[in-house]
């Protein structure tokens, strides 16, 4: 029976473009994982969406003198466009300003309240007297009380990384108006009581299944839990926009973004169920204790605490799905949180200027998608920060992707097409060398597959590439271009063996390189698609309309198995898989980045 693989992807703020670091760190890995599991035959549900709340959106809107709604729509649309271009197969990519998300957030709020995971308390916050407005969190800046950094944010200092309360800032000022006439005023807020989940978290983080977690994730999470310093965290704010508070008397307050953002994983699953016409279908993905389901949260390292501490505590605080006192299953805890480190931009490390970004929208326009997917996977910061440079990008594409795999496909398909009348040749009996090669490539379904399953994508790609190199080696040994002059049947056999190897290799590469693998599939004369179809649509609900990105796996024919290649199958006219990059793109891109610097 196939597994259910639930893939949860970090929710980006709809307040600014995503760059290639986000892609390498948080968006590409889950898609590789999703595609692998779909090929294997597992049922996959990959969800995410844009976060439409939070201070950055207001600040952006103020800066450009447009409405928040315009900011949200612009960036949400740009995310959807780029994710579509990069082939990120979200079963549902939505956003948080939907009726469904409000409903689910209210449900969690009320349940946490009912189960005493929530309490209210007075808190001092800064109030801008002249502007008559509260200044929660990042609406205020000032001098860090610890390190005296002068542009410290309201909740955390960028210089020393410490967190504190905004009222502790020295010389605070409004980030909206610059006003320094601020007062500390008491205000009542709801707090989510993390401390109540502390024992549970320690126990949970020490279960044997955590052995497969990345060490940097587990170390950080355990350190937090075992410090026993977890306590209440405010989850409401004095704001006039955002998700309302579902109890009377708090009309002038809204839910704080961190609380509702992580709820997106659950609400998006429910929205997906609504869209499929079976509103109850979400539950099959969320029952704790169901061995058939595993859930994976792909995020960047700055988000580890939210996904390995706070969200598990919130799920635990919810209790049984059916009701506070029901016997039934609880909400499912993450099976793994494979957080990546950062991909840093190396070309401008000494630049203090602003805006040297490579946005994913730009990236998609300028180079082949599979070239990006290859390079960013090969460079991915799986266990440590890694550096992106254009030189490295060109090198990876030209000397690894093009030279090894692209060229292999090209040289063999070209030869076969010309010498064997455009058909897969009929092989004779296989000799020991043929068998050795095919056994090695066939073994990739186990070895490379295991690496994909273990979320070791760099290693998986490396292993597939090494098999491709084996095929190149075999080809040089057999030299069918010489053999064909004296022994056409022997040449036919070795060409067949190589075509068979390529037909399997395309699958081993497919999670990372979906479109070029599809092309190889087609060139080898197969019909049908390895994967399903992505599409966008507008969804209407009580809060209006929103754009969603979706994926339909029906009709996909790709399967993680070494199927035999039929001899005699007509080939299609070969064409190059990848474009070799000219060295000049390094200079061009560096110049572009200089120009874009304000």
Partner RNA sequence: UGCGGGGUGGAGCAGAGGCAGCUCGUUGGGCUCAUAACCCAAAGGCCGCAGGUUCGAGUCCUGCCCCCGCUACCA
444-463 binders of RNA (CB under 7 A): 458-459, 462
Q: Does 440 bind RNA (CB under 7 A)?
A: no
**Residue 469 Cβ vs RNA, minimum distance, rounded to whole Å:** 4
Q: Does 343 bind RNA (CB under 7 A)?
A: yes
**Residue 393 Cβ vs RNA, minimum distance, rounded to whole Å:** 11
Q: Does 81 bind RNA (CB under 7 A)?
A: no
Structure tokens at 197: 């989940």
Q: Does 592 bind RNA (CB under 7 A)?
A: no
- The residue (of 379 and 508) whose beta carbon lies closer to RNA is 379
**Residue 329 Cβ vs RNA, minimum distance, rounded to whole Å:** 29
Which of 243, 97, 244 is CA-nearest to residue 539? 97
Interface segment toward RNA; rule CB under 7 A; list 163-171, 235-243, 315-323, 573-581: 573-581
Q: Does 383 bind RNA (CB under 7 A)?
A: yes
Which of 29, 17, 590 is CA-nearest to residue 345? 590
- The residue (of 23 and 273) whose beta carbon lies closer to RNA is 23
* Of the residues 67, 70, 130, 161, which one makes contact with RNA according to CB under 7 A: 161
Gap between the Cα atoms of 50 and 79, Å rounded: 8
Q: Does 132 bind RNA (CB under 7 A)?
A: no
* Of the residues 303, 493, 494, 500, which one makes contact with RNA according to CB under 7 A: 303
- The residue (of 152 and 275) whose beta carbon lies closer to RNA is 152
Gap between the Cα atoms of 83 and 85, Å rounded: 5
The C-alpha torsion from 233 through 239 and 240 to 246, rounded to 10°, is 20
Gap between the Cα atoms of 267 and 8, Å rounded: 11
- The residue (of 18 and 111) whose beta carbon lies closer to RNA is 18
Interface segment toward RNA; rule CB under 7 A; list 83-91, 119-127, 181-189, 575-583: 575-583
Ordered DSSP codes for 28-68: HHHHHHHHHHHHHT-EEEEEEEEB--SHHHHHHHHHHT--H
Q: Does 10 bind RNA (CB under 7 A)?
A: yes
Q: Does 63 bind RNA (CB under 7 A)?
A: yes
Residues 353-372 that bind RNA (CB under 7 A): 353-354, 356-358
Ordered DSSP codes for 248-269: TT-TT-EE-HHHHHHHHHHHHH
- The residue (of 273 and 345) whose beta carbon lies closer to RNA is 345
CA distances from 433 to 113, 377, 474, 497 (A): 68, 32, 8, 10
CB neighbour list of residue 350: distance below 8 Å, 6 or more residues apart = none
Lay out the site mask for RNA across 460-499 (x = CB under 7 A, - = otherwise).
Answer: --x--xx--x--xx-xxx-x-xx-----------------
Interface segment toward RNA; rule CB under 7 A; list 92-100, 193-201, 376-384, 543-551: 376-384
Q: Is the dihedral of CA 169, 172, 174, 175 positive or negative?
A: negative
Q: Is 562 helix (H, G, I), strand (E, B) or coil?
A: coil
Gap between the Cα atoms of 67 and 57, Å rounded: 9
DSSP secondary structure code for residue 560 in this structure: S
* Of the residues 341, 434, 503, 589, which one makes contact with RNA according to CB under 7 A: 341
Q: Does 578 bind RNA (CB under 7 A)?
A: yes
* Of the residues 8, 20, 140, 451, which one makes contact with RNA according to CB under 7 A: 20
Lay out the site mask for RNA across 23-52 (x = CB under 7 A, - = otherwise).
Answer: -xxx--------------------------
Helix segments in 86-194, DSSP class H:
99-114
Gap between the Cα atoms of 562 and 577, Å rounded: 22
Lay out the site mask for RNA across 396-435 (x = CB under 7 A, - = otherwise).
Answer: --xxx-xxx-xxx-xxx-xx--------------------
- The residue (of 383 and 594) whose beta carbon lies closer to RNA is 383
- With contact defined as beta carbons under 8 Å apart, do 26 and 339 qualify? no
- With contact defined as beta carbons under 8 Å apart, do 118 and 192 qualify? yes
Residues 187-226 that bind RNA (CB under 7 A): 216
- The residue (of 183 and 588) whose beta carbon lies closer to RNA is 588
């Amino acid at each position: 029976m196939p597994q259910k693989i639930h893939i949860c992807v970090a929710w980006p703020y709809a307040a600014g473009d995503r760059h290639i670091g986000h892609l390498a760190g948080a968006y590409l890995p889950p898609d590789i994982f999703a595609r692998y599991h779909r090929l294997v035959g597992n049922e996959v549900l990959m969800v995410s969406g844009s976060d439409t709340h939070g201070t950055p959106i207001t600040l952006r809107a103020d800066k450009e003198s447009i409405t928040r709604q315009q900011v949200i729509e612009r960036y949400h649309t740009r995310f959807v466009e780029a994710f579509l271009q990069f082939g990120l197969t979200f079963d549902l990519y939505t956003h948080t300003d939907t009726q469904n998300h409000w409903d689910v957030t209210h449900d969690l709020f009320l349940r946490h309240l009912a189960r005493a995971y929530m309490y209210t308390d007075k808190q001092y916050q800064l109030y801008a007297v002249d502007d008559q407005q509260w200044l929660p969190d990042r609406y205020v800046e000032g001098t860090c009380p610890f390190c005296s950094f002068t542009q410290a944010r309201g909740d955390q200092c960028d210089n020393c990384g410490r967190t504190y309360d905004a009222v502790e800032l020295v010389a605070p000022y409004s980030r909206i108006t610059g006003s320094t006439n601020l007062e500390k005023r008491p205000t009542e807020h709801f707090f989510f009581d993390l401390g109540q989940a502390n024992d549970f978290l320690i126990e949970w983080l020490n279960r044997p299944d955590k052995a497969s977690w990345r060490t940097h994730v587990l170390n950080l999470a355990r350190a937090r839990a075992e410090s026993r310093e977890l306590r209440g965290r405010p989850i409401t704010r004095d704001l006039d926009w955002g998700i309302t508070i579902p109890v009377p008397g708090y009309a002038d307050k809204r839910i704080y973004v961190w609380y509702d953002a992580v709820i997106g994983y659950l609400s998006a699953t429910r929205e997906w169920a609504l869209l499929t016409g079976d509103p109850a279908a979400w539950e099959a993905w969320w029952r704790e204790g169901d061995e058939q389901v595993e859930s994976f949260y792909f995020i960047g390292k700055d988000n580890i605490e939210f996904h390995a501490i706070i969200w598990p505590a919130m799920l635990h605080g919810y209790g049984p799905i059916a009701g506070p006192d029901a016997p039934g299953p609880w909400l499912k805890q993450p099976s793994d949180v494979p957080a990546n480190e950062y991909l840093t931009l190396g070309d401008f490390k000494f630049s203090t200027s602003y805006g040297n970004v490579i946005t994913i929208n730009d990236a998609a326009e300028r180079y082949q998608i599979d070239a990006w997917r290859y390079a960013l996977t090969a460079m991915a910061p799986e266990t440590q920060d890694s550096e992106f440079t254009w030189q490295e990008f060109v090198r990876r594409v030209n000397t690894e992707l093009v030279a090894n795999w692209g060229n292999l496909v090209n040289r063999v398909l070209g030869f076969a097409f010309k010498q064997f009348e455009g058909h897969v040749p009929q092989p004779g009996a296989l000799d020991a060398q043929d068998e050795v090669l095919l056994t090695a490539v066939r073994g990739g379904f186990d070895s490379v597959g295991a690496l994909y399953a273990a979320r070791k994508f760099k290693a998986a790609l490396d292993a597939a590439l090494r098999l491709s190199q084996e095929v190149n080696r075999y080809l040089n040994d057999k030299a069918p271009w010489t053999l064909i002059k004296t022994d056409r049947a022997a040449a036919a056999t070795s060409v067949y063996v190589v075509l068979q190897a390529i037909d399997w290799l395309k699958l081993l590469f497919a999670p990372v390189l979906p479109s070029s693998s599809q092309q190889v599939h087609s060139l080898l004369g197969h019909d049908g698609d390895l994967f399903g179809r992505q599409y966008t649509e507008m969804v209407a609900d009580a809060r209006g309309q929103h754009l969603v990105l979706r994926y339909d796996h029906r009709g996909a024919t790709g399967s993680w198995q070494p199927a035999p290649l039929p001899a005699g199958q007509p080939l299609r006219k070969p064409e190059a898989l990848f474009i070799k990059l000219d060295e000049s793109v390094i200079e061009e891109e560096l110049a572009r980045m200089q120009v874009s610097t304000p």
